Structure 1
């Protein structure tokens, strides 16, 4: 990488030092990712504290347990959007705003995706207890490489409709994303997708245990039970 890819604000603050610039980009993305839209929307809609419902996380899947599909959909879109905005903000702060994805030159963008994911899953404002990262991974991949992002969504939808298991759909899409990222772009994006997938698997560790035990609830099961 060259100094031409260091964020302009980092050059001004740190005299062009690469590492501080990348760290600032990571922090900015973390702050965007830590915005708890699920919590804000459910409270605004008079649905109470989403952290006291279902799994207790702030993501769209848990918001859906309130029974309000529109709020859940809005949470999904906004969580994906905050990841996209984080990456685009970092891109605009570079000397080369049209920086393409691919190779080590795009490292600031990959760090932005990671920062947004960490912010969503471990928001400092909520005691580091956030969502599971599916929407954020979608937003990141769509922004970094829209074909890879669309494939992620297609895999999720295929598993969700055939197996009726939201967690299995997310895990399958995340597990296959690095493969498609490598084929479509290169090993750098594949490594980024793999890191996000590992974090997503960690956030779904309880779901994985239930899937193995055969006790994971299917999509719509809770609504039918109620």
Structure 2
């Protein structure tokens, strides 16, 4: 293994994950720092809540791309001979986790970011595309039915390890299943306040009305 090259790619994955999409979109186009409104998080969920459908969608897509791009950097390590192909999945997971941490603790804006769900989704798309697409479908359906981004995120995350238990999706590397369980736990734990608001019926709904812009 080439430790120097691996270290450089890990740093790059963090910097990619740290791109504060919600903050930059809010400040550049709306003159608003989303961290000072709504839940105070710099992520897609709060952007939907504070700025509306269009900016929320843009932030969500860019944050998903961040996770996908960071995880996909593992392919470069294989191509450059820094790691063996047998370690591809492990490094996709490592780089994706680093990107998620970058999103949660972004160096560009004082280490105050979002919860990392969209970036996590991008990472999963790079690691296991079929299962990730099903989880994304679950997210979209629940969001359209309930307009709760938090609930959609949690159900999509919980679905990931459950789908991996099915014979048709069971991974060759058991590490992926372990990771799936950890994903679900992490997403649920980071949404404790949302769960409380959902149970009390006071959770904010996203502005996803296709006939209404904001």
Class of the TM-score when normalised by the shorter of the 2 chains: 0.7 to 0.9
Do 1:91 and 1:97's aligned partners in 2 also have CA atoms closer than 8 Å?
no
Q: 1:24 to 1:212 in 2, by over 3 A?
A: farther
**Partner deviation per Cα, 1:152-198 (whole Å, 9 max, x = no partner):** 11111222233332211111111121122344142222222222332
TM-score (ref. length: structure 1): 0.78
SS in 2 for 1:58: coil
Q: Unmatched 5+ residue regions in structure 1? A: 1-5, 15-20
Per the alignment, residue 44 of structure 1 pairs with 28
Distance 2:206 2:131 in 1: 25
Kept in 2, the 8 Å contact 1:122–1:130? The answer is: yes
Unaligned residue ranges in structure 2 (runs of 5+)? none
Aligned residues: 204
Matched, 1:211 2:180: no
Are 2:137 and 1:154 equivalent residues in the alignment? yes
Find 1:122's aligned residue among 105, 110, 120: 105
d(CA) in 2 for partners of 1:26, 1:145? 20
**TM-score (normalised: structure 2):** 0.82
Cα distance change, pair 65–160 in 1 and its aligned pair in 2 (3 A): closer
Q: Specify which structure has the bigger relative contact order, considering alpha-carbon pairs within 8 angstroms and separated by 6 or more residues.
A: 2
Moved more, 203-212 or 76-85: 203-212
Deviation (angstroms), 1:69: 2.7
| 1:74 lines up with 2:58 in the alignment | yes
Farther off after superposition, 201-210 or 63-72: 63-72
Please name the residue that 1:18 is paired with: none
CA distance in 2, matches of 1:115, 1:193: 16
CA shift, 1:105, in A, is: 5.0
